[in-house]
Amino acid sequence: MSKKEQDNNLSFLGPLMVDVDGLVLSEEDKQVLTNPLIGGVILFTRNYANKDQLKTLVAEIKALRKPELLIAVDHEGGRVQRFREDFTPLPALAKICTTETVETSHIELAKQHAWLMAAEVLECGIDISFAPVIDLDWKMSEVIGDRALHQHPRAVARLAGAYVQGMHAAGMAATGKHFPGHGSVEADSHVALPIDRRPLEAIRNDISPYRPLIENGLDAVMMAHVIYNKLTRIPAGFSEYWIQSELRGRLGFKGVVFTDDLSMRAADVVGDMQERVNLALYAGCDMALVCNDRPAVLNLIENLSEKVWRNHSDEIIQNRLKTLYSKPSFDTQKLQSLTEWQIAVNTVTALND
């Protein structure tokens, strides 16, 4: 692609979400992020020193191009909270409801946890945190574990519904993960290839919380790097069956579909990075995450099919992606002076005791 073509095609968000190395953008980072294949940036703990530094980094990323790149983070609470110092220590989602029955108090806790999480991330200019986890806690998966809201699908549906409401109240789009479900496999997809050997009827039990969430405005879904071998021979994020037939077809989902990180070990089964991206986008994902592998990103920029980024400029896809921009419902400069924030901090941190 020529430089002129690149300049002419920065009017849309590309299909790749990538990472950056440190606390400030390097010259290579800037070159990568202004390529039309890039549509978003995901931040990690290494990108955070303090809130002022993070706000500066986010502003620098946003200033690179129009439309602005989407900026994301995994900031669930518990084990998965990328920013710690100067942020409220969020309890794991499992602490919201530790009883069999979901009470009104648990619903309120879920809303408070979600609002607080989203508000503190939005304060720094970040668009989305990939939350909530919709996986059922079958007491099998160490990588999910207390990241899950509950074991029972009806409980997860109620708690996740409240969580999405809390995120929306703060002005952040919500991303359910990991579709169709990661909680019933032991292997960690970061380092191995999980295989779920259950029949479709059992898997649909794990899927069931998604229906009410979708009906009530779930904005995005992240796919699972799990093979459900009674149905497909590739992980769900590369499968037209799971994305087109189940998620978009049977459930009627019209929002954004993300891959999980394509650098994870479970994605190796598909082939090299270019094959992974091509297959994921062909299957129906709107944005592919490529994290912690800059050589792979540089190779994609050089070699990914022109057809991929031209197809990605489709108006329907672009409109989906742009629904994920943050819309804070409060003055981000005055967050910690808000009574709502002070109440949420006291309520949510009490779960850590």
Enzyme catalytic residues:
190, 260
292 backbone φψ class: left, alpha, beta (φ>0; ψ -120 to 50): left
Residue 47 · residue 74 · CB < 8 Å? no
- Cα separation of 298 and 304, whole Å? 10
Q: How wide is the angle at C-alpha 202 spanned by C-alphas 140 and 80, nearest 5°?
A: 40
Please name the residues in contact with 309: beta carbons below 8 A apart, sequence gap of 6 or more.
9, 14, 15, 36, 37
Where does residue 22 rank: exposed (0-12), middle (13-18), buried (19+ CB within 10 A)? exposed
How big is the chain, counted in residues?
A: 353
Query: What does the block give as tokens for 50?
Result: 């303090």
In a 3-state reduction of DSSP, which class is residue 73?
Answer: strand
Cis before residue 132, ω within 30 degrees of 0? yes
